Structure 1
Amino acid sequence: MVQEHENIVGFDSAILMHPTVWKASGHVGNFIDVMVEDTITKERFRYDTLSDVQREQNLSPNGNPLSEPKNFNLMFSTSLGSTEESSMKVYLRPETAQGIYVNFKNVQQTSRLKLPFGIAQVGKAFRNELLFKNFIFRTCEFEQMEMQFFVHPQEDTKWFEHWKQLRMQYYKDIGIRESHLRFHEHRPDELAHYAKEACDVFYHFPFGWNEIEGIHNRSNFDLTQHSEFSKKDLSYQPEEGEKFIPCIIETSAGLTRTVLLVLCDAYRVEEIEGSARTVLQLHPRLAPYTIAVLPLVKKDGLAERAKQLFLSLQKEYSCAFDVNTSIGKRYRRQDEIGTPLCLTYDYDSLTDSSVTIRQRDTLKQERVAIHKINQYISDYVKTYGVDNA
């Protein structure tokens, strides 16, 4: 989002900000879930997840009576100050976006950016979730990846459609199966208080379809609100024409959720020659190791020569080195952690200066000259998804 776009810059905003920031953004008044409780089991449910029949009959999914609905604030609060009397109530940020908005003018002026441009960041966010479930899908502390793209008010719909397609393509580019991805367009009654239009990217997890990223047309709500509450001018002045408050197209992805979807999408159990093979079919750019260097055996100098090769490759790639157990078991070990390539240094390597490289996905093995290994790896990573998907 930053490195490959000349008009998007990276940023790192504060976790704790003045509480007025969250009043301006609408979080203090609107960032709530409505909670109900099963009066028998004491299990809690979000009211909006209940079916129309359950709401009408006031019954939980367990068939028991429900308590009265109560508002559940999703922001964590803490105190800022040395004494209880002088302390001020502040909040842990529930999203990273607001830190970008209040710094919009600083970043725009110091970076000399012209519309349209974006500000992106990765950072911690905190939400007082009602329910924790599905491993790391929903937690109270998580990482967000957000980008706020500032545009002319007359071009907001065009840029909204642009970023929708670009963000969907991102997941395909990192190897996620297209059949497991879809858009969910927000109906008017689903839109957040700040949104003009919105859609989510959904992924089909083992526990069902769920959101992994939101793309929102936030109109000029945010900068207008922060300008009003802070009494600072957050308008944009083009070289020609009148000042205006930019509209914002937001892409908001969960880094934590993205890790989970990558693992779910890559996990396979295959049958190879009558035995099960567990493989993590990660895109090479995401794999913990790009290549594993495996001497055929420990003896006769093979391990020492292979280690020298490992140390030279390590300067360019993330590499693993494994000399324990049989070569077959070491292959399977690397398959399980998602290493896309395994290099075997054998007895022939001592005389022909070549090695065998095995591909994780196809099990294809090729003899490659040692001086061509770097080029082989580079070509494999660049073409992955074209020839290897």
Structure 2
Amino acid sequence: MKTNDELFKNVISHAKEYGFVFPSSEIYDGLSAVYDYGQLGAELKNNIKTYWWKAMVQLNENIVGIDSAIFMHPKIWKASGHVDGFNDPMIDNKDSKKRYRADQLIEDKITRYQKDGKTEKANKLQADLDNALNKDDLGSLKAIIEEHNIVCSISGTKNWTEVRQFNLMFSTQMGAMAEGSDEVYLRPETAQGIFVNFLNVQKTGRMKIPFGIAQIGKAFRNEVIARQFIMRMREFEQMEMQFFVRPGTELEWYNKWKETRLKWHLALKPDQSKYRYHDHVKLAHYANAAVDIEYDFPFGFKEVEGIHSRTDFDLSQHQQFSGKKLQYFDPEVNQNYIPYVIETSIGLDRMFLTTLCNAYEEEDLSTPEKADSRSVLHLHPALAPIKAAIFPLTKKDGLPEKAREIMDALKMDYNLIYEEKDAIGKRYRRQDAIGTPICITVDHQSLQDNTVTIRHRDSMEQERVAIADLERILEGIVGWKSLLKEIL
């Protein structure tokens, strides 16, 4: 039985071996906390984005999507509070010179207490951490670290500096000459691009409250402590939707979106026991309710998606700093007001990792006569990078030509792979490892009666079907419709 650490290492190794995720700039020894998505990773990532976009925009008549710029006017980040308040509490070990996030050091200690069965101690430490974070009490964070004998993982010592705040935004210069250029920021979130376009979308789309604006895009944070593979990166992608509502109705909509978003995750048929809600103990100053949807990764429960009731803070701030009115006239109540906002924000990279962790299995297929096993990704068929693999049983007798004929008929609608190398069993194993839902084998009987053998990934069962029925069968297994019906 593998430990969680061993399992996570195997997921990371599997992701690289099969072309899902590579360390960025690897031939130059890599770049810390930056990753590239390989040929299968790009497909899986695009499928996750498609699922989110279809569920959010296509299925909701009152939600539209935009794509705002990464560079925005620097005053936007002053208005949003990021210039003054987008900080993490950092602490250095004087012996190793290694820098840590103070709250994460304490969270790791809580996890160790829980694993050791010291539940009461873990709960007390969690309460102390929450209290210190609520008060922004950096001195208390250091006192907690010292009290619980938390040591540096490299030096093994407790020779700590004071805890201090570190701003996470990347800045750069915009302009032809360095001395005459303006300082701008790489956006640390995609939400502000939605807020500053609120009136543009509302007026051009003739949108009526309540309505939402969705966006998928890159964001950048100078994470000093980036860890756990693609869980926390410096360059990442977000899928966010800001839902604008009438003041006074925000908590009703907050509860609705809280349920809707968990339903989206569970429609993929994961182990439901690995998901939970975690209400925020410390609310942001602009929020009146906030919850995380957490997933039980091999390294513990961590946030995958957040749902926040942001009140009217964002639009009010941008109205104040820009000098432009960002109000909505509501004909139903015959008044102007600044809408309140419900935010749903999911990290695409975290969702990618959640999907891999959910899907990965090292399956023992041994019998009394023979030892056997396989590594398999039980991806939801709609998310699978390759929808079907097409195999001629042999490389002769007209079988490759027949297989290519089937491939040509289906590849306009589905991402397929053709393979004729190695024994059929080895080909099955390779497709299992990348999550391909079905394999289609063309044999000599196919030339006689236009039938093929379909082999299913999860059950490994096989059935004989007519070539003429393949399109219908594929649509039923890998099509978006069956998945989207789960969330209607």
Same-fold call, TM > 0.5? yes
**8 Å Cα contact 2:213-2:242 kept in structure 1:** yes
The 4+ residue runs of structure 1 with deviation greater than 4 A are 382-386
Aligned: 1:331 with 2:428: yes
Cα deviation for residue 151 of structure 1 reads 0.4
Counterpart-to-counterpart distance in 2, 1:220 and 1:365 = 57
Contact 1:100 1:119 in 2 (8 A): yes
Q: 1:58 to 1:173 in 2, by over 3 A?
A: closer
Q: Deviations over 1:332-377 (max 9, x none)?
A: 1110010000111111111121111111001111111111111111
The offset of 1:383, in angstroms, is 5.4
Does 1:269 find its partner at 2:362? Answer: yes
Q: Distance in 1 between matches of 2:312 and 2:262?
A: 24
Deviation string 1:238-286 (CA, Å, 9 cap, x unpaired) is 2241101100000111111111111111001111243011101111111
The partner residue of 1:198 within 272, 290, 313 is: 290
* Residues 41 and 109 (structure 1), Cα distance of their counterparts in 2 relative to 1, 3 Å cut: same
> TM-score if structure 2 supplies the norm length?
0.76
Once the two structures are TM-superposed, the CA of residue 385 in structure 1 deviates from its matched residue by 11
2:284 partner letter: A
Larger strand proportion of the pair: 1
Q: Does 1:311 align with 2:408?
A: yes
Cα distance in 2 for partners of 1:385, 1:281 equals 19
Instruction: Give the match's secondary structure for 1:143.
Output: strand
1:171-210 pair list within 5 angstroms: 171-187=265-281, 190-210=282-302
Instruction: Report the RMSD for the aligned CA atoms in angstroms.
Output: 1.7
Does 1:8 find its partner at 2:63?
yes
- Which stretch shows the higher mean deviation, 171-180 or 264-273? 171-180
1:206-226 alpha-carbon deviations (Å, 9 max, x no partner): 121111111100001100110
Question: Counterpart of 1:232?
Answer: 324
Evaluate the alpha carbon distance shift between residue 384 and residue 235 of structure 1 in structure 2; reply closer, same or farther with a 3 A threshold. closer
Of 248, 252, 265, the match for 1:154: 248
Shift of 1:193: 2.2
**Which residue, 200, 204, 221 being the options, matches 1:106?**
200
Is 1:86 paired with 2:187? no
- 2:335 paired residue among 234, 238, 242: 242
Q: How does 1:1-389 map to 2 (within 5 A)?
A: 1-51=56-106, 55-56=142-143, 59=146, 60-62=150-152, 63-187=157-281, 190-240=282-332, 241-273=334-366, 274-381=371-478
**Corresponding letter in the other structure for 1:325:** D
**AA aligned opposite 2:183:** K
What is the percentage of aligned positions where both structures have the same residue?
A: 51
Residue 384 of structure 1 and its aligned partner are, at CA, apart by: 7.3
Question: Cα 1:68–1:224, aligned 2, differ >3 Å: closer, same or farther?
Answer: same
1:39 deviates by: 1.4
Q: Which amino acid aligns with 2:465?
A: V
Aligned equivalents of 1:263, 1:346: Cα separation in 2: 33
Cα distance, 1:86 vs structure 2: 2.2
After superposition, give the CA deviation of every residue in 1:64-95 in whole Å (9 maximum; x if it has no partner).
12101221000011122233332222111000
Superposed displacement of residue 144, structure 1: 0.7
The one-letter amino acid of 2:396's match is K
Structure number having the greater helix percentage: 2
In the alignment, the residues of structure 2 paired with residue 321 and residue 182 of structure 1 have an alpha-carbon distance, to the nearest angstrom, of 40
- Does structure 2 conserve the Cα–Cα contact (< 8 Å) formed by 1:175 and 1:385? no
Structure-1-length-normalised TM-score: 0.95
Q: Is the 8 A contact 1:175 1:282 kept in 2?
A: no
SS of equivalent residue, structure 1 residue 199? strand
Do the aligned partners of 2:142 and 2:163 also contact (CA within 8 Å) in 1?
no
Does the 8 Å contact 1:36/1:69 carry over to 2?
Answer: yes
Unaligned runs of at least 5 residues, structure 2: 1-55, 107-124, 129-140
